[in-house]
Structure 1
Amino acid sequence: MKIEKLGKNHRKEVIGGLIVISVIGILAVNLTKAKYQGIEDIELVKGEINYKISDFKMMAIYQNNNGSYEEVTELPGKNYKINESKSYCTINNVDKDNSAKLYTNKYGQHVIENISKNDKCYLYFDKNTEIVSTVLGSIEVNNYTPDFSLTATTDEGIFKAEDNDGVSYYWRGAATTNYLKFGGYCWRIIRINGDGTIRLIYDGTTCHNNGESTTDSIAEFSVMYNTKYDKSEYVGWTYVEGKQRPEVGDTPIETNAKLRLEEWYNKNLASYSAKIEEGKYCNDREVDRRYTWSQSPNTTFWYAPLTRRENASPTLSCLEKDIFKLNIGFITSDEVIYAGGRNKNNESFYLYNGNLYWTISPYQWNAKINQAHVFCVRDTGFLEGASLINNRVVGFRPVINLKSDITISGGNGTKDNPYVVLN
């Protein structure tokens, strides 16, 4: 265990009078003049409480297991939350410290705030999850928001977020319970949509482990997103020359990727169409508010999905004018971020397969080379843009939506026992 005094250059990073406890992170204490005078870092090893500050003592930690609290020595993770009504601190182990605040924030961080000298605290933890009834059966959903600035390399479970139709439940990280067999193929569940349908991404003729590099989960290779690349409107799933997006009355042109994907659908899945819902696919062509859209401007501009990647602020909602209702489409860049990818390599989360494949999300117009770019998932799991001229190595993984009234005939969602849809 290492204890370290923070220098002046670190003080601005710590909130006064606040302790944030993380299972694998750092317990940071900053004490104001009215409270403590120093700042200390206490590194927790696997969440075990095995060191006590001389003036502050964690006397006991209790975890709710099946309705009764049991004392534990390991700090519960984000799937547990502090019971604010039961947890408390005392001054000199006599009087209750009513100024102390003990809670778990929306990111699953356990916080001890505004403690006094000689406080002794008792923490009670309840499950920070809920059981939700879905077409897959009952699933356990986390009640906190993950940190989207970080890639997810472990199985973080299932979370919830709003989409255009209600509450959506999505899998994040190295998911182990989102395998599904349908139409002769293995799929990974991206999310259960707000309308109760199930969004899937192609995983191949067989199911594959997380972290496995395999060409089997690419349906087609070397697919041009569009046959044109030197105008910004070419990022559209359909487009009209000279316009940011098609308008009512226009006859839009379909991109090459859309045509190739629908050919694949007609060849491989059309016979199963009774189970497939016409899903909503977001081809978000809004531009970052710092810019104004133009067909081929002299300055580079970002599309809104790139801004959301940089700000770690994904969304499952979409403007109606950018929604395509289709039997088959691509994953969005936002869905990749929800799943655990972002702007760094991640070879552990369930969307990695060691290959490059397209999303449906526009990335930027690059004025230096006069090329439009669309997001793709790179062969290292990096969510990045690819020029539309790059037609030699980028493939696609189909995304479909199953109807909300399908019947699951077996399985529990694991690789060796995937959910099976009754055909």
Structure 2
Amino acid sequence: MKYVLIIPDGAADERLAELGDQTPFEAADTPNLNKLAMSGRQGTAVTTPEGMPCGSDVCTMSLLGYDPRKYHKGRAPLEAAALGIEMGESDWIFRVNLVTVIDGKMQDHSAGHISSTESKRLLTEFAPRLDLDGVALYPGVSYRNIMIDRSGQRDWGELETTPPHDVPGEPIRKHLPVGGEHAKLLQQLIAESEVFLAEHEINLTRAEMGELPATHFWPWGQGQRPTMPSFESRFGLKGAMITAVDLLAGISAFIDWDRLDVPGQTSYHDNDYAATGEYAIKALDDYDIVCAHVEAPDEAGHAADPATKVASVASIDEHVIGPIHQALEAREAETGEPWRILLLPDHYTLVNTRKHDPTPVPFLMAGHKVHSVLQRTFSEENAGASDLHIDHGHELMEYFLKSGLG
């Protein structure tokens, strides 16, 4: 049996006036998705456990079959693992965004999708100003960076930080780090970064080009290294991850999945969707389960851009869902090997609020011994109308892998 998990990140949404009172899933041209939906089974899954933040770290952990209440120790350690950064058991790891703040309000969580080259230079030049014993900064991809406190002198367990993408348009003074005796150190870091970045030549150049400046470093997502059993030890299957996002690559590292390098893959709508599909198909020769993750719908939601969100969903349908489905059917015809596909977003990303939302996500499961009496096209509403609702999202993976197989 071959298994494929397809994650159109943040694709679920509410109905939007700009789309004729349709959701992006309903508005997009998705013949391949709807073909699978008519032969498969739809349902919903709760990917954000009650009391936990609705983010891709928590939600993707659920989708891959791991209970976040047990295994989630913070978002940043997952991203650090993807970058190959060594972490001790007592280390505290932070995600550090480059953000844009205008008139005291969070304008953009990504500093206008600043390039990795620009971000690395800003981080490297700011590092000597960071007067915190045992603390180091590591450049990541684009606006995403990592900070690690290896001093062993500070307990950040009571600290509360805010994801910048959760507070678009809101005053940052309401969302500065608080809690514990060390929160003021991070507040000071944010204030010092504002002074450092204000007149930096990279920002002056970005202003000349009409691009958003990087105005602050914003630490959040703190945590410590988790311990997770391998996917193969739990399910007996060898897995691979295709993603442009370090967060998902980090989770993969902790469960012993391989991350596959796909040229042209990005987090935005300039992603090479065809390459995502092609590499997923090739990976089926070497792996039992392959995950194809596409970040673009989520970023379009955060940007309040419904047109791009619809276009990204349509591109996933044309270049990822369709080719993978066809390849699995051809493979089965040639070798007799059955298959299953599971497709679902990790969470809702609402265009109207530019935020994540913990509403149970719609999913579609199709393939070997998967049947439904309710034959409808795929949508949030149709998935909600089914009789299959998974209250604990981490249980969906086992259902996908084993249900109906005796």
Query: TM-score category by the smaller chain?
Result: under 0.3
| Structure with the higher strand share, 1 or 2 | 1
Higher relative contact order (CA 8 A, sep 6+): 2
Report the TM-score, using the length of structure 2 for normalisation: 0.25
Flag the structure with larger Rg: 1
